[in-house]
Amino acid sequence: MCGIVGFVGNQQAAPILLNGLSKLEYRGYDSAGLAVRSGSELAEVVKATGKLKNLREKTNDGYALSGNCGIGHTRWATHGVPSKTNAHPHVSGNCTGSASGAVESDVVGVHNGIIENYQELKDKLIRHGYQFYSDTDTEVVIKLVDYYYKKYKVGPIDALAKTMVRVRGSYALEVMFKDYPDEIYVARKDSPMIIGIADGETYVASDVPAILSYTKHVYYIGNNEMAKLSAGNVVFYNLDGDEVEKDLVEITFSAEAAEKGGYEHFMLKEIHEQPKVIQDTYNAYVKDGDIDFSNVGLTAEDIQAFSNVYIVACGSAWHVGMAAQYVFEDLANLPVRVELASEFRYRKMPLASDGLVVVISQSGETADTLAALREAKSKGLKTLAIVNVVGSSIAREADYVCYTLAGPEISVATTKAYSTQLIVAYLLAMKMGVVRGTLSQDVCSGYLKEIETIPQKIESLLADKERLQWFASKYSNAHDVFFVGRGIDYAIGLEGSLKMKEISYIHSEAYAAGELKHGTISLIEDGTLVIGIATQKELYEKTMSNMVECKARGAYLMGLTTSGHYAMEDTADFVIYIPTIDDHFAGSLSVVPLQLLGYYISVSRGLDVDKPRNLAKSVTVE
């Protein structure tokens, strides 16, 4: 969840590290810290609680720290409360770092992940005379590296290898050794890490945006691998200490794609980018009017062999699966189960050996989803990943990979990644339907024409966002909000509710409208905001009946429906219309007003839209 950066080269390191951390603050913003050194001089460690601006002020934007080799960290607290003491970097000695003093320590490091057996390791180290100043699992790892480094009198790579064998959990680890100036050593297991090279300088980070303004040429370090970084050079090693060859990969999107581009917040920018990224994703899989997954490696024979589909994901990606299941079942006539990855990995659920497990993740590093993928593969099932990050762990390990072309998504609350995942799910369901003979080519062509209209129709919704801005200001002080709908509308309500609660901190829930009378309606009282979603023709009247039941109990109704259903205004107090589209794909339109509603309510409440409290963008720990 945290963000880590590192640099070694000819320039002053600290300003580069701070710039990189500013691109990773979506991964954590409880505290931040730097460790910088120059040649054989001692490392200077500086930490600050709160957001990154506090560390900037403390170090004069990094220019107060000399040295051309350094590491940095922005924290999302796991072990230990947010504090200066618990902030990274951590050291092998007993000093926590200060604003002005150099640290006498053999090993200094930062870490993203969770060490599951940290208490056991801590007890071992205490028996060997180590003292601890923080509550973090990271300090334990740094001191364990130091322990093996000194006990066996080995080099950094061997010390890291011995540590990796002993540690259980996930980590992306960066360390500097006092005896090895101008070098950074890294190790990775299950947490993301990329390494970039340019002009005789080397960069390392949790995610591409942190280094994109310096280089587009990166290495993806593999699982259970280590590397030695020096200026302009990287050497990779496996756990046996043998060198490993890597290919340099070129990043295709620009540094500007990770900037706000004049918008007040990344979230608003990313909402407005949805027409383009949907079109880009569509074009990647539709060639000459036909759905083409040949680049994915998914053949007609593969599709015909699948007996059912398991969709496994977390958060908004799970909501994509909830919407997609209706489309898969209708168009491909395949049984579909949608599972939360955190539940799937621990259930003893019988799985059909000829089933397809579809995992969905924006980052491609979501810990529970990655574990679920590995569980499915261990049982012999084929796996297909829908991911946004090329070279991510899930992308590398899945049998088939469908990339979404959403570009970098910085805001913690996903919008454009969600929408592109939906598009890929539609196309996958349609392709399966055609191959399996449950969907004619003519009908499929008609559906493709419908999907082609989605970008333009979203543009029209964005052009009319002022009404939603007004409504959001009116209801920004709501205490409870309920979203109701049936079928795909229920699935979209789940996503709308999540957007509301995660960035506005208003309690909200989504319910299948037919379930209201089974307990939920007791929560409705005078003035409660109920958002009814009714875009499915066959279910429209039933959903309207449920909305009327809520109004009869004092609810204030907001309706979301397709153009033409103007009679809804006789029931609802406020109505938003989406352009007419085939019911299967209505979710791609109806989610946009709900994204905007959550955004504008958060703005009205004066909250930090892009970095909501307690959350981080990429959930790389369990």
Contact partners, residue 360, CB within 8 Å, separation at least 6? 311, 312, 313, 317, 318, 320, 321, 369, 385, 386, 387, 421, 425
Per the CB < 8 A criterion, the answer to whether 291 and 424 are in contact is no
Q: What is the sign of the dihedral through the CA atoms of 327, 330, 332 and 338?
A: positive
617 is catalytic: yes
Q: Are strands 194-198 and 3-8 parallel, antiparallel or unpaired?
A: unpaired
- Angstrom distance (rounded) from CA 509 to CA 485: 12
Nearest C-alpha neighbor of 590 from the set 611, 565, 608:
565
What CA–CA distance (Å, rounded) separates 56 from 58?
A: 5
Is 150 catalytic? The answer is: no
What's 537-597 look like in SS3?
HHHHHHHHHHHHHHHCCCCEEEEEEECCCHHHHHCCCEEEEECCCCHHHCHHHHHHHHHHH
Beta strands in 366-425 (DSSP E): 382-387, 400-403
| Residue tagged active-site, from 2, 314, 402, 550 | 2
Q: What is the dihedral of CA 163, 168, 172, 177, to 10 degrees?
A: -20
With CA atoms as reference, report the closest residue to 65 among 81, 48, 82: 48
In the numeric block, which tokens belong to residue 276? 């383009």
For residue 474, give every residue at least 6 positions away whose Cβ sits within 8 Å of its Cβ, in sequence order, or none. Answer: none
What the block records as the tokens of 175 is 């360390």
CB 154 within 8 A of CB 161: no
Task: Name the active-site residue from 58, 122, 269, 617.
Answer: 617
SS3 category, 341? helix
CB distance 419 to 280 below 8 Å: no
Give the residue among 513, 502, 518 at the shortest CA–CA distance from 602: 502
Token pair 């012999």 is found at: 380
Strands 336-340 and 3-8: unpaired
> Among all residues, which ones are annotated catalytic?
2, 617
